[in-house]
A and B are shown apart, each in its own frame.
Chain A
């Protein structure tokens, strides 16, 4: 009996092995296959799903407009469950089995690094929609991104806290197990102290998934900071904000794009009200590019797009733009075309690639009001602050006037 079962298992194995190896035949010639890998399941699943929605919307639009020289674009998506090994396997499979011309992904920086190493190895261009850690594009010339990097985000939050909130002492609490969080913490501290701010006490560390933050929060409460910077992901931030209010911290909480999820307000409720975070775009931005995108997204998915959806959309559009400019769809040509992107009008702002294939573009600050991230202001990279006359295509005039309208929730 058991022998027979063993044979059955073995034959199942070999069968499945064969199917795993053969995969599909090469992409048919009238479509162009683009690969995507993301965390569609796992603890940061909303990140992957939003990005995926944004990518699909862009692909639909491109195809409706006739595709690339008559060829339709098609996207092949693999789930990596937020695991490094899975990310490596997914990208290997996309490139060597499905023969994609380019790869889109990932959100989490460590996964972008793992997938990026594979892409670079096979000379297939990869665009990360939203990995902000500096190391991602340092992998090589095949890897680029359409979001700003952590050092800029640290600058944005620091500048906002100092100039707009008039906060002079900020306490910091970060996730020591996330590259994103530790990187952003360092960048914030550097940028904020550079413009004259002071970090209250030592930065407090926690680990993703912790349930009790009272020790760190009580220490912070005793320092009476003007604001608390929490460069973590929304799941932990929500829990921390609830416990922070309980610990008597009334100062506004500040964060980065890791906060960007509809679940933040759902979990945190009242306690996150009046807090600020930097993001890639705000759906309340009145510029035509943003409003057009929001309308189309709502029509298709019946929900409001978050920043990750907008970045997924922009990444796809930039890839398509590069495909149109590139002499061929060969990896090297395509990567060069992506790197040459200049002044591309995306949903998340006017995007240009710098020499390290990082996007240079503004960031927005939003405030949690009534459970909705409300647009506050736009902050530009150092030296690229547009003169008021240049503003219109990127940000409507209201953007600048909106800033003073939102007076700092007076820190005590």
Chain B
């Protein structure tokens, strides 16, 4: 009879397997993004690339929102607000920071050049700021449930929009030196939106962040933290009774979700080269993301990815219908919801669907 320690040791995977598990996905992700950047991108042309980029950004947004709306079962309508915070932070870093560092507000350096690293840094800065705000908002509001939380997040998103609308005009490159550095974050364009931002977003960075987000979300779901989130979603009182500190865990999920939304904001705004006017980052944008999550399946990472892909391509394909485009789009949504009200995959992942069916088939035999 082995001791408990020995039994635990035998369950622990070997060092090589652990190394493979932790490094493998990262290597795979970098390989995939390089492939996308150098092979797929040129193959599909500029317009195809633009759609691929939109798709990647939507995946980051949808998967990150799934951490709150899907895993934890909380209803947040403020995701676009976090995206805006991240995007504006990233914009300040690349526009004003870029000027201070390189002396120009135009893109600097080629692929993986200095400008690109600044851009990656700016996205991370966006994530940190936005995550911090997520934490601040989450702390008091996640004691609320259901509709009340939805209202608080809705209000938060609108506050962000209104505050950004009140900001000052962008300082042109020629005048940046004359403005004290601490005042610069105020000059983010007001109602016009923040432009001209350098075009830094490319397939490599977008899909690198997509991989990080997906990996994070999936591992979170499968970890004991994720189990705690799922238990909160199923029954908050039961979860609390089982010893789960409900509010801190919810707040953490909220902050992580906000942080990834911030990354998406940074990517999104450097793709457009101009920040959309703040009015466009209101609850309508949040709802676009919610639709992806609901359609893909609340709690299913792969389902959300698929929904984000479908909902990005669909309007582009329907462009040929011109006037009836949005009608067809809406009809497609209604149809999908009628056929599968639980979303494409419900709470499961793509690969679990087959397993489920085999299990069922075996059970019936």
Query: Per-position contact with B for A121-143: 1 when CB-CB < 8 Å, else 0?
Result: 11000000000010100110000
Chain A binder among B122-130, B140-148, B180-188, B310-318: B310-318
**Chain B stretch 306-354: residues in CB contact (< 8 A) with chain A:** 306, 309-310, 313-317, 319, 322-323, 325-326, 339-340, 344-345, 350, 353-354
Hey, which chain A residues are within 8 Å of B114, CB to CB? Answer: none
Residue of B with least CB distance to A21 = B48
Residues from chain A with a CB closer than 8 A to the CB of B54 are 85, 89
Q: Which of A77, A114, A133, A182 is close to B274, meaning CB atoms less than 8 Å apart? A: A114
Interface pair A121/B193, CB less than 8 Å apart: no
- Mark out the residues of chain B between 190 and 222 whose CB falls within 8 Å of any chain A CB in the assembled complex: 190-193, 195-196, 199
| Given A117-B272, A121-B273, A6-B313 contact (CB < 8 Å) | no
Cβ B51 vs Cβ A179 within 8 A: no
- Bound complex: CA of A13 vs CA of B273, how far in Å? 28
Contacts of B166 in A (CB 8 A): 176
Interface string of B250-293 (1 = CB under 8 A from A): 00000000000000000010011111111110000000000000
Instruction: Assess the B48–A110 pair: CB atoms within 8 A.
Output: no
Interface string of A1-27 (1 = CB under 8 A from B): 111011001101100110111010000
B276 / chain A contacts, CB cutoff of 8 Å: 83-85, 110, 114
Closest to B302 in A: A6
Q: Are B50 and A176 in contact (CB under 8 A)?
A: no
Q: A9-B306, A176-B166, A176-B191 are in contact. Are A84 and B277 (CB under 8 A)?
A: yes
Residue A92 is within 8 A (CB to CB) of chain B in the complex: yes
Q: How large is the interface on B (under 10, 10 to 19, 20 to 34, 35 or more residues)?
A: 35 or more
Verify B272–A84 contact, CB threshold 8 A.
yes
A298–B166 CA distance with the chains assembled, in angstroms:
43
- Taking CB atoms and an 8 Å cut-off, the chain A residues in 135-181 that contact chain B are 135, 138-139, 176-179, 181
Quick check: B195 and A135 within 8 Å, CB to CB?
A: yes
Q: Which of A13, A83, A85, A97 contacts B47 (CB 8 A)?
A: A97
Whether B45 sits at the interface, judged by CB under 8 Å, is yes
Per the 8 Å Cβ criterion, residues 64-102 of A in contact with B are 77-79, 81, 83-86, 88-89, 92-93, 95-97
Q: Contact: B326 with A41, CB < 8 Å?
A: yes
- Is B357 an interface residue when CB atoms closer than 8 A count as contact? yes
Contact across chains for B191 and A181 when beta carbons are under 8 A apart: yes
A13, B313: Cβ atoms under 8 Å? yes
Q: Are A9 and B191 in contact (CB under 8 A)?
A: no
A15 vs B316: C-alpha distance when bound (angstroms): 13
Whole-angstrom distance from the CB of A18 to the nearest CB of chain B? 10
The dominant DSSP class at the B interface is helix
With a CB–CB cut-off of 8 A, which chain B residues contact A176? 162, 165-166, 191
A3 to B348, CA, bound (A): 12
**What is the bound-complex CA distance between A136 and B61, given in angstroms?**
30
Interface residues on A, range: 35 or more
Question: Is the beta-carbon distance between A96 and B45 smaller than 8 angstroms?
Answer: yes
Interface residue from B191, B277, B313, B344 paired with A17 (Cβ < 8 Å): B313
Partner of A84 from the list B45, B46, B274, B319 (CB cut-off 8 Å) is B274
A118 interface residue (CB < 8 Å to B)? yes
Mark interface residues in A192-210 (1 if CB within 8 Å of B CB, else 0). Answer: 0000000000000001100
Known A3-B357, A16-B314: A113·B191 in contact at CB below 8 Å: no
A209's closest neighbor in chain B, by CB?
B279
Is residue B44 within 8 Å, beta carbon to beta carbon, of the partner chain?
yes
B159 to chain A, nearest CB (A): 13
Kindly state the separation between the CA atoms of A9 and B47 in the bound complex, as whole angstroms. 23
Min Cβ gap B344→A in Å is 7
Closest to A17 in B: B313
Q: Give the residue name and chain of the A residue nearest to B346 (CB).
A: A2
The residues of A that contact B165 with a CB separation of less than 8 Å are: 176-177
The answer to whether the Cβ of A379 comes within 8 Å of any Cβ in the partner chain is no
A109 contacts B by Cβ under 8 Å: yes
Distance, CA A12 to CA B336, complexed state (A): 13
**How many Å lie between the Cα of A177 and that of B277 in the bound state?**
8
Output the nearest chain B residue to A135 by Cβ-Cβ distance. B192
Cα–Cα, bound, A210→B346 (Å): 38
Contact A89 B193 (CB under 8 A): no
Which chain B residue lies CB-closest to A208?
Answer: B279
Residues of A within 8 A of B310 (CB): 9, 12-13
Question: Is residue A294 contacting chain B, with contact meaning CB distance below 8 A?
Answer: no
Q: A84-B276, A109-B192, A118-B273 are in contact. Are A16 and B47 (CB under 8 A)?
A: no
Q: Please give the distance in Å from A202's CB to the nearest CB on chain B.
A: 14
User: A2 to B353, Cβ gap below 8 A?
Assistant: yes
Q: How far is the CA of A79 from the CA of B114 in the complex (A)?
A: 37
Of B195, B271, B275, which is in contact with the most chain A CB atoms at under 10 Å from its CB?
B195
User: In the assembly, what is the distance between CA of A40 and CA of B271, in Å?
Assistant: 24
Please judge, given known A-B contacts A81-B326, A89-B50, A139-B196, whether A20 and B317 are in contact too, CB under 8 Å.
yes
Q: Which residues of B contact A86 (CB under 8 A)?
A: 315
Chain A residues in 8 Å Cβ range of B274: 84, 110, 113-114, 117
Instruction: Let me know if A97 and B353 touch, CB within 8 A.
Output: no
Residue ID in chain A nearest B276 by CB atoms: A84
Given A16-B314, A177-B277, A179-B192, A6:B45 Cβ within 8 A: no
Could you tell me the distance between the alpha carbons of A85 and B315 in the complex, rounded to whole angstroms?
12
Among A10, A110, A117, A207, the residue within 8 A (CB) of B277 is A110
Distance in Å: Cβ of A123 to nearest Cβ of chain B: 13
Task: For residue A318, give the distance in angstroms from its CB to the closest CB of chain B.
Answer: 25
* Residues from chain B with Cβ under 8 Å of A95 in the complex: 46
- Residues in chain B near residue A207, CB distance under 8 A: 162
Q: How far, in angstroms, from A77 to B321 measured CA to CA in the complex?
A: 11
**Which residue in chain A gives the minimum CB-CB distance to B303?**
A6
**Whole-angstrom distance between the alpha carbons of A81 and B46 in the complex?**
22
A404–B274 Cα distance when bound, in Å, is: 46
- Bound Cα distance from A368 to B351, whole angstroms: 65
A contact residues around B319 at 8 Å (CB): 78-79, 93
CA distance A114 to B322 in the complex (A): 21
Chain A hits for B192, CB < 8 A: 109-110, 113, 133, 135, 179, 183
Task: Determine if B195 and A117 form an interchain contact, defined as CB atoms under 8 angstroms apart.
Answer: yes
Collect the chain A residues with CB atoms within 8 Å of residue B196's CB: 117, 139
Taken together as a complex, chains A and B put the C-alpha atoms of A58 and B101 apart, in Å, by 49
Chain B 50-83: CB-based contact to A (< 8 A → 1; otherwise 0): 1100100000000000000000000000000000
List of B residues within 8 angstroms of A20 by Cβ: 47-48, 51, 313, 316-317
Whether B317 lies near A19 (C-beta < 8 A) is yes
B272 touches A85 (CB 8 A): yes
Tell me the complex Cα distance, A268–B186, Å.
Answer: 38
8 pairs of A and B residues whose beta carbons are closest in the complex: A84-B276, A96-B46, A179-B192, A117-B273, A21-B48, A16-B317, A97-B47, A96-B47
Listed by A's residue number, 8 A-B pairs whose Cβ atoms lie within 8 Å are A84-B193, A114-B274, A117-B274, A122-B46, A176-B166, A177-B191, A177-B277, A179-B190
Taking A92-B47, A110-B193 as known contacts, 5 extra A-B pairs with beta carbons closer than 8 A to each other, sorted by chain A number, are A6-B353, A83-B280, A84-B277, A92-B50, A113-B274
